[in-house]
Structure 1
């Protein structure tokens, strides 16, 4: 079965028309919801009727309510058994979904429990023991609780895979299939994804029964209210290019995506040095600091957030008007999720992509997956930046003319002019120079890049073959291997989710019979190592340690 999502929600349709439980309707009224969004209007009826659903939906379309509302309307509140399980790729999204269930179920006697890595088992075990009708979790932690016997899914009636493509990209394919295989065959399944790669189609055909497909009527996989363009920039010129854009482009708030945790701090520091209100979030930042930073982005204390893909997942801030891909993502689906951070709640947004000459193939992949041609844009020129600086300077003078206390300074200037016989314009210019603190006011054209001269082929010794070795990685040993039936996907998924790492933080993985080696950042933070102490794969503690090679392993036996 297939159901195309309408372009806009019909004005006649309200939540009251969708046979929703009265207590859920009351909670929706409490939060000011009257009419369903397009994805909600298309998804709630088939889910209320008991059908499986596949929803192709971007983030920010209201898909959480689309599955939470019908599940809460149909759940048996008299039973304390776990009846609904929602899988989410990250702890941030798991918390967000759990909060939504609690909000919509505020007038129902229903317990909602989030379970995710990076937090203590104690409260989760206590919550499961008390009884939670709805469990929202990340795949790795859900499997841990299944292994412990603390989570019973034998009576499950509803299963949701949220942002399924993200889960598979993070290496959770094996975990997701294992969880699905332990649930009853006849349950209602809803799967939501921004894209539909072959791996998602495989899960759909294997575990869903005659699903209703809800799709957005759009020629693109990305929202039409987001303008998309790219700018060709040489790697060393990226910071200059970003500065020019920030000075010329009007924006309310912006997320700048980079590939590594180190880059978030470096870019944020350089922007602050240039006078911009910027902050960084990455997997090494404590949850409390992350929440405080996002609150500052929401209230306007900061305007620019530098983030990695993992750190930005689950982020929902309406005032984000721009997403800038400082580093182009290696996989096109990440691009789709990145730009979904803007254009929220029906607002328009803008996405800008920096592309170096060697990355044009990645641009082609993004255009193929998003089914949208990105428009090439030129970087603002030095003249554009200087025109904007002059305009802002003039505006600052106009604002200062109406500022309190101007009378005092007028008298001081008049006195100086009289005593020193200096024209007023000269005094004003001197004060403007003083306010700059010695910095240049107008931008100058940067010197052209020096091209490295290649020696003649006959000069010098033959060039060595360049090996693809990353100096920032070190080899670690984990205590799971082939006999534990683990694959690279489950290793990446567990370590990335529990430790807050991204797939780009991983190098080569070698799986031996009773252990495996994995390349990870050489300088893992103390907080990351602490989180990974309790990480399990297939129920076995990984016991992450620096790998000292086969000789040491032989001696230690």
Structure 2
């Protein structure tokens, strides 16, 4: 199927133009096989993995079959989650951009139903979760008499989530002839029974796969104790150039704790889990997609339906219980022809789950050594060197500060001493103080040795408990930030409060710029600010007590060096 083009599939010019404008050069295997069969009116069962292009495989023919002059529901798509509903509707909007009379709407739980009722009026394509679709059917706000195509997207997932009764009732209420498409990652007895009951001799369209993961994703794992995870994650983020990264945790509490710790270290991060409202979820995802947030810390609620091509790195902060969830998690990277990287943290009995994942994906996951503080410093030094080198190449003769260097040379200081001192000062301005972890010590990475020997006893866990008992009590105050809370409090002058700004030295921000912005944008007296400290990705500003809210409110929506940034009261005080 490698020579097949979209023009060969029987699609009309408006759809072909939309596909071309979106930059798709050739159909994927599932698209090339499924689209002609759907256009011919056949029921199909599509078996394909995440990221194979199945959404476009049913969206394009669905758009082709719609009568644009009839403003009633003609296509119904059932999806397991609200995130996937929104994603499918976005795909419909992009592919149907040249169909002026076409309207689609998503319906899902957690959103105002009255707004959805208005959206259903005149919509020709409806995408919804089974539960909310049942609500609309009972209210009579979803009409089914003109439905000609019903699509079950991720049928296996919906059955696993307990939607069997709703799905059967919805399909049973659609009278007359209809075409039904079943898309599923796996074929099991539950899916087979559903197809047998509601399908009309469907043809199976299966995409052969050698492995469940994409070859473009580089997969590795690290042996990391629970209390070392924040430090190791920080090192990985410092060592790897990335634009966007997703960090997956197994619990909401772990998401909250990891997010707070990463914010304290100067990373721009936000969270996504089941306690976040739908409105806030959409806001977080949009901020992440726009690059205003570089790290998204999430539970598996984001593993499906998070369709952002620019994710460079996925980290399994906690290894998932289900190997299939691992596949969906790492599928957030390596999309749209890009390469990606997935790293997982394991320790102790997690090794068994890792082996299950390897059996499921039918490939080995490479073990990596935890980067040391020296490794991170070396990487930072390389980046700093290249930045200074680039600046020197751009700098014109007679640029500012050159005369200062000449004055130092005239006073007898060696050029190497001047450069070394300036590099040291620059490193302090943009560097991040790490912390020593057990994995840094000889023999600290014992889990990997146990795995190689086949010794499954958790001696590392016992060693960790003994080491914890002997640890200095003062260290327990540390939360994984750049310094502990007590030291942070002591550095704030009496009568002052400390404000956190999510922008720092990596963008070349200077204390004077921050002070000037605050004095010009906020209602505070001149020369009233205290110490301003710049870190790689954040800054801390001391403001007079009682003025902190003025500063935070005044900086909302502001940009520094062309970049928006979060601003809040420093949480570690």
- TM-score after normalising by structure 1: 0.71
| Matches of 1:74 and 1:125, distance apart in 2 | 24
SS in 2 for 1:92: helix
Comparing 25-34 with 370-379, greater Cα deviation is found at: 25-34
| Matches of 2:210 and 2:25, distance apart in 1 | 29
How large is the Cα RMSD of the aligned pairs? 3.1
| Matches of 2:218 and 2:362, distance apart in 1 | 14
Residues 91-139 of structure 1: per-residue CA shift (max 9 Å, x gap): 23212222333443442633322211222222322343x3433211111
Residues 493-547 of structure 1: per-residue CA shift (max 9 Å, x gap): xxxxxxxxxxxxxxxxxxxxxxxxxxxxxxxxxxxxxxxxxxxxxxxxxxxxxxx
How much has 1:219 moved relative to structure 2?
1.6
Q: 1:425 to 1:10 in 2, by over 3 A?
A: same
Among 244, 251, 274, the residue aligned to 2:242: 251
Aligned to 1:539: none
- Tell me if the contact between 1:61 and 1:344 (Cα under 8 Å) persists in the aligned partners: no
Q: 1:321 to 1:196 in 2, by over 3 A?
A: farther
Aligned to 1:117: 109
SS in 1 for 2:417: helix
How much has 1:64 moved relative to structure 2?
1.7
Q: Is the counterpart of residue 162 in structure 1 residue 162 in structure 2? A: no
Q: 1:167 to 1:365 in 2, by over 3 A?
A: farther
| Matches of 1:427 and 1:209, distance apart in 2 | 80
Q: 1:102 to 1:386 in 2, by over 3 A?
A: closer
Residues 155-205 of structure 1: per-residue CA shift (max 9 Å, x gap): 432111113343344443333233233334853222223344543344334
How many residues of Structure 1 are paired with residues of Structure 2 in the alignment?
A: 443
Aligned to 1:356: 347
How much has 1:296 moved relative to structure 2?
4.5
Aligned to 1:407: 399
How much has 1:34 moved relative to structure 2?
5.6
Among 98, 104, 122, the residue aligned to 2:89: 98
- Tell me if the contact between 1:257 and 1:325 (Cα under 8 Å) persists in the aligned partners: yes
Aligned to 1:172: 163
Residues 284-323 of structure 1: per-residue CA shift (max 9 Å, x gap): 4455654554445445444332222213532222221221
Aligned to 1:393: 384
- Tell me if the contact between 1:226 and 1:342 (Cα under 8 Å) persists in the aligned partners: yes
How much has 1:141 moved relative to structure 2?
0.8
Comparing 211-220 with 182-191, greater Cα deviation is found at: 182-191
Aligned to 2:370: 379
| Matches of 2:376 and 2:190, distance apart in 1 | 46
Q: 1:398 to 1:69 in 2, by over 3 A?
A: same
| Matches of 2:387 and 2:11, distance apart in 1 | 55
Q: Is the counterpart of residue 452 in structure 1 residue 444 in structure 2? A: no
Where do 5+ consecutive residues of structure 1 fail to align?
A: 1-8, 455-557
Q: How does 1:194-233 map to 2 (within 5 A)?
A: 194-233=185-224
| Matches of 2:423 and 2:432, distance apart in 1 | 10
Q: 1:43 to 1:427 in 2, by over 3 A?
A: same
Where do 5+ consecutive residues of structure 2 fail to align?
A: 445-462, 468-573
Q: 1:217 to 1:113 in 2, by over 3 A?
A: same
- TM-score after normalising by structure 2: 0.69
Q: How does 1:88-487 map to 2 (within 5 A)?
A: 88-105=79-96, 106-107=98-99, 109-128=101-120, 130-184=121-175, 186-285=177-276, 290-291=281-282, 293-402=284-393, 404=395, 407-419=399-411, 421-437=412-428, 445-447=436-438, 451-453=464-466
Higher relative contact order (CA 8 A, sep 6+): 1
- Tell me if the contact between 2:303 and 2:328 (Cα under 8 Å) persists in the aligned partners: no
Aligned to 1:50: 41
